[in-house]
Amino acid sequence: MAKKALITGITGQDGAYLSEFLLSKGYDVYGLARRSSTADVNLTRLKWLGIEKDVQIVDGNLLDLSGLIRSMQEIAPDEVYNLAAQSFVASSWQQPILTGQVTGLGVSNMLEALRIAKPDAHYYQASSSEMYGLVQQPVQSETTPFYPRSPYAVAKLYGHWITVNYRESFNMHASSGILFNHESPLRGIEFVTRKVTDGVARIKLGLEKELRLGNINAKRDWGHAKDYVQAMWLMLQQDIPDDYVVSTGRTTTVREMCEVAFNHVGLNIDDHLVIDPAFFRPAEVDILLGDPSKAKEKLGWSATITMEEMIKEMVEADLKRLS
């Protein structure tokens, strides 16, 4: 019989790529999605990959424990990937309570539902490099102390530690991936990489004249989501659950990332880039640089797509969309 996987956040970037990857492995893929009265579930990313008819969407919400238990009982998944969150850092200052409930306590609900209904399932928690925040070491590994700098990062840290707690308290196969920034053509428009590639495409096509950004000196360790979802799967294939940093081991400034996008379409960055104080964060994370050596050694995983290749792919996808 085919293995069954349940993915929360299936309509997001990572959920879509993970679905595609698991389907290629022969899994039956179920996706937990939150419906609203104004619109049906947004399957845009799954449609982009041509797999929207191959996954089964289940109604659910991370805040509804009874519904989560019911889903675990009905699906009886072999693997559960918790990717759902209020995941936009900037919004977490405007919605700190909601972010704490969904991104933090939502993890407790998932783990509790799993413990009650399907304790033998392998569980993946999407942790984040934002938990390092005001970095305590130049290169961040699994043992680097955390110092979160946003409500989002604080909520992610709760989700990370409650996963460790359930693993140790109830002997559950629960692993966390501390994923550094990972992007793709499926990234939401509110995230800086996609904002840049969409903006550059608009300028190239004559639809806009400028790109407005905040702190372009911030440094990030950027990889491709397609690479990173494979690391998630590898974690759940291990005999012993554990936590892993997933990154490229290379950091780049926002400005350097912008230059790749502008150069790709033959434009000069200084003719179009505008620094707007409105986009500065209340507390900035200046640099993130991950050490992926444990993932390489234990999982046999390493990034295969460079930041330059990824940004060029994203610019081409946005040119296609806008054309």
Q: Are 19 and 51 in contact (CB under 8 A)?
A: yes
Fold agreement (4-182+222-246, 189-220+250-287+305-322): no
Q: Are 219 and 251 in contact (CB under 8 A)?
A: yes
pTM: 0.95
Per-residue pLDDT of the chain (323 residues), as tens digits, is: 899 999 999 999 999 999 999 999 999 999 999 877 666 778 999 999 999 999 999 999 999 999 999 999 999 999 999 999 887 677 888 899 999 999 999 999 999 999 999 999 999 999 999 999 999 999 999 999 999 999 999 999 999 999 999 999 999 999 999 999 999 999 999 899 999 999 999 999 999 999 999 999 999 999 999 999 999 999 999 999 999 999 999 999 999 999 999 999 999 999 999 999 888 878 777 899 999 999 999 999 999 999 999 999 999 999 999 99
User: Which listed residue (71, 87, 128, 175) is catalytic?
Assistant: 128
User: Which listed residue (20, 79, 130, 313) is catalytic?
Assistant: 130
Q: What are the residues facing 246 on neighbouring strands?
A: 179
User: Which listed residue (17, 81, 124, 152) is catalytic?
Assistant: 152
Q: Are 69 and 113 in contact (CB under 8 A)?
A: yes
- Locate the domains of the chain by residue range: 4-182+222-246, 189-220+250-287+305-322
Assign domain 189-220+250-287+305-322 to its CATH architecture.
Answer: Alpha-Beta Complex (3.90)
The answer to whether residue 36 is catalytic is no
| Bridge-based pairing state of the strands 79-82 and 219-220 | unpaired
The answer to whether residue 152 is catalytic is yes
The answer to whether residue 66 is catalytic is no
Q: Are 284 and 158 in contact (CB under 8 A)?
A: no
Q: Tell me the C-alpha to C-alpha distance, in Å, between residue 97 and each of 57, 105, 126.
A: 27, 11, 19
Q: Which CATH number fits domain 4-182+222-246: 1.20.120.160, 3.40.50.720, 3.40.50.300, 3.65.10.10?
A: 3.40.50.720
Q: Distance from CA of residue 20 to its chain's centroid?
A: 15
